[in-house]
Structure 1
């Protein structure tokens, strides 16, 4: 059914969001008093530059009346806002208590509730969301004939095989429902999507129920005045996925797992657990368990209950990625995908994610460079654990090239240093997505957190120069095995500066060029 002003008003009333409808001197809660109430909207947008005849405009965030200059001539049909703008437009306004919640509900309705045509899987956690989402999509694609779409912080995929770089971990609600409609139109039957804490903080997934929610883990992150004021708030926002799901997949060893189980019990939903254990404690402490198949941790056994699913050798290194693989198999179990096809299950082995645990060997020296998205205490710790487990006996000289995001997640700056300073030889602090904060200020702040007098540190603001210098420095120490950990940006081809994406080669391309690969 097409969305009209009348049906939009009814939907908003149902969710106790509508305050009144205003058009000129008419203030009413009865859409029948508006002449155009039954005319279907031709489009929906939150960008005034995209208004065309018949469009419903959602005014969210720091919206200003001047954005509406000339909007009636563009063909605006109506607007949704927390403030009335009758002085700026002659069109009717649906005045609401919460514009973001209203936008999510109206977007779902405008696009014909595409989530009802998909089995929707939401993946959240402090680390591992992207890898788990890719593994899950690969596994479901293998058993469904390529019918799984993907929304991730790296790429979006709406047809099972074409990947396009994404802008946000979880899209704005309007974009999400538009892409769901496109995915359903492409014949997709499943959608795997990363769900960030911000998605609940700013209502990007308001009104959306997940068939399966995966809660991987939790540790302090995203603590800042513009994100979450406290860890409690961060965890609370993450937990909302549980009360908006029909089934939960849970990391058995997650911090606060007991609370998450209580949430699931209160919501009346079942729980499927997964875990990573060492070879001596493989056990049955979770429904899906992974444990090393060899001393070098080059492959892992994975079992689903009493059913051995075989040995897996992933294309993405690191024990934590075998934990992510176990999570993906647990998700498949929870969503009802058959685990009997061994070939399909091994589809996760070929998954590669650009810029994630990518390894490059320098032909000119005994140097290994690893490019990864690690950006907080948990992920840097996991990365270093992997390095020491794999190459610790070779006594490598480790250099960490890192920065930290500007204007947010201030806690990461100290935590990255704390995670690394006693395990590496050298820091090189450089630009990341520093936004409006001066690069040098962030780098100097991070350098100031170093307490280990034996670790060397350098500040090089330009990221290309920083990576280049790290490589030259490694070659100058050719008597040692050097490992360069270049983190935070992966293969992203831009750096955010003053709210704009400034083109950048990408860490992986810089390393490939310097190594002559």
Structure 2
């Protein structure tokens, strides 16, 4: 059914968002008497630059009334806003309590509720969302013949095979529903999407119910004046997934897992748990979770998985590290909850060769015993997990570990100390460098990180230019062929840009820089 001014007002009224309708200088409760109130909108947008004849404009965020000047000449049909803006347009206005919530509801309706034609899987957590999303998509693609779409912080995929770099972990609601409609038109049956805490904070997924939701883990992150003021607020936003899903997949060992169980009980939805074990469980405690994994060898290079106590066989992932095997368990639980049977072994094993750009990309220079890992680690938990992997893989060789790291500017200030605290007792050298910032100078961020280094035995340098920082670290590693060197380059992964002064400046990408430098002799 097409979205009209009449149906938009009715929808907003049903969700208790509509305050009044403004038209011709009058405030009313209905659209009665407004010409063309039953005419379908030709477009919906939140950007005045894209207004076209017959468009509905949603004025969200830091919208200034003067942005509407000139929109009548473009053919604006109506607007939605949190305040009367009739001094700047003659178009009728739907005045609402929350424009972001309104945008999500209206976008879903404009695009014909594409979520109803998909099995939608949402994944939240501090760490592992992207990898779990890729693993889950690989399983569902194999099971459905390539009919699974993906929204992730790395790429979006709307046809099961073509990947394009994304801008946000979770798209703005209007963009998300537009992309869902495109995915449906491309024949997709499933959609796997990452769900950030900000997606719930600013209502990007308002009104969207996931067929299956996953809560992977929680640790302090994104705590800042412009993100989440407290850990409680951060966790609260992530917990919303339990109240907006038909089933929940839960890491049995996650902090606050009991609270998530209470949430699921309150929401009346079933819970499937997963757990990665250090070794075989005792006979009287064989079923510690619905989906489990135990090491199949001493080096933890592959794991044996089980679902509801039934053996699923051995799995050897391209992505190394115990934490990635935990992500694989989550993916199996999600796919099973979405309808993939336990005996679909070919589909379940489809995640083994999966790669995720910028996640645990290991490159080696055997001539100098240099090992380089590019990873997106950017907080205490992910840096600790990365160093745990290094210890397990290289610990008996007493490696010289260098960490090339920066941190975000203008937000998440606690990360700077967390990264240092996670690493300084376990590495030989820091190289602090540029990452992303709005207006805060890179040099200030690096100095802030340097100020947290208290271990006198660890070296620390600031090289602001990121390419030069990586080059310096690799040159140092390759100049010592007598030792094992592990160089960790974190925070940017595959990203082909660095944010500076609110602009995305082209950047080669850590993975490309490493490969180019290692190819040079």
TM-score tier, shorter chain, comes to over 0.9
Partner Cα distance (1:203, 1:132) in 2:
23
Name 1:257's counterpart in structure 2.
257
Q: Does the residue aligned with 1:279 lie in a helix, a strand or coil?
A: coil
Select which of 343, 346, 367 maps to 2:346: 343
Q: Which residue of 1 aligns with 2:107?
A: 107
1:313-352 paired onto structure 2 within 5 Å = 313-352=316-355
Distance 1:115 1:49 in 2: 28
CA distance in 2, matches of 1:362, 1:69: 60
Contact preservation (8 Å) 1:364, 1:515: no
Alpha-carbon displacement from aligned partner over 1:469-492 (angstroms, at most 9, x marks no partner): 111111223321110000000010
In 1, Cα distance between the equivalents of 2:360 and 2:289? 27
Of 153-162 and 277-286, deviating more is 277-286
Write the mapping of 1:91-130 to structure 2, written as runs, cut at 5 A. Answer: 91-130=91-130
**1: CA distance between counterparts of 2:237 and 2:452?**
29
Aligned length: 517
Number of the residue aligned with 2:163: 163
Deviation at 1:364, TM superposition (A): 4.9
Instruction: Report deviation, 1:69.
Output: 2.4
CA distance in 2, matches of 1:207, 1:425: 49
Counterpart secondary structure, 2:274:
strand
Q: Which residue of 2 aligns with 1:427?
A: 430
User: 1:244 maps to which residue?
Assistant: 244
Unaligned runs of 5+ in 1: none
**Displacement, 1:144?**
0.8
Asked whether 1:406 is paired with 2:409, we answer yes
Match of 2:460 in 1: 457
Distance in 2 of aligned mates of 1:264 and 1:428: 44
Higher mean alpha-carbon deviation, 487-496 vs 82-91, is at 82-91
Gaps of at least 5 residues in structure 2 are none
Q: Residue 467 of structure 1 aligns to a residue in which SS?
A: helix
**Secondary structure at 1:149's aligned position in 2?**
strand
Looking at structure 1, the residues matched to 479 and 430 of structure 2 have their Cα atoms a distance apart, in angstroms, of: 16
Would you say the 8 A contact 2:81–2:93 is kept in 1?
A: yes
- 1:25 and 1:345 map into 2 onto residues whose CA distance is 61
State which drifts further: 43-52 or 65-74. 65-74
Give yes or no for contact 2:437–2:502 (8 Å, CA) kept in 1. Answer: no
- Between the aligned partners of 1:281 and 1:5, the Cα distance in structure 2 is 60
Deviations 1:132-155 (A, max 9, x none): 000000001111111111000000
3-state DSSP class of the match of 1:159?
coil
Aligned counterpart for 2:503 among listed residues 497, 500, 505: 500
Distance in 2 (alpha carbons) for counterparts of 1:122 and 1:129: 9
Tell me how far 1:65 sits from its aligned partner.
1.9
Whole-angstrom CA distance in 2 between matches of 1:62 and 1:240: 25
Give distance in 2, aligned partners of 1:476 and 1:515: 13
Shift of 1:394: 0.4
> What CA deviation, in whole Å up to 9, does each residue of 1:101-157 have, x standing for no partner?
000000001001000000110000010000000000000111111111100000001
1:467 aligns with 470
TM-score normalised per structure 2: 0.98
Establish whether residue 417 from structure 1 lines up as the match of residue 423 from structure 2: no
Task: Assess if the C-alpha contact under 8 Å between 2:292 and 2:307 holds in 1.
Answer: yes
* TM-score normalised to structure 1 length: 0.99
- CA–CA distance in structure 1, aligned partners of residues 289 and 414 of structure 2: 32
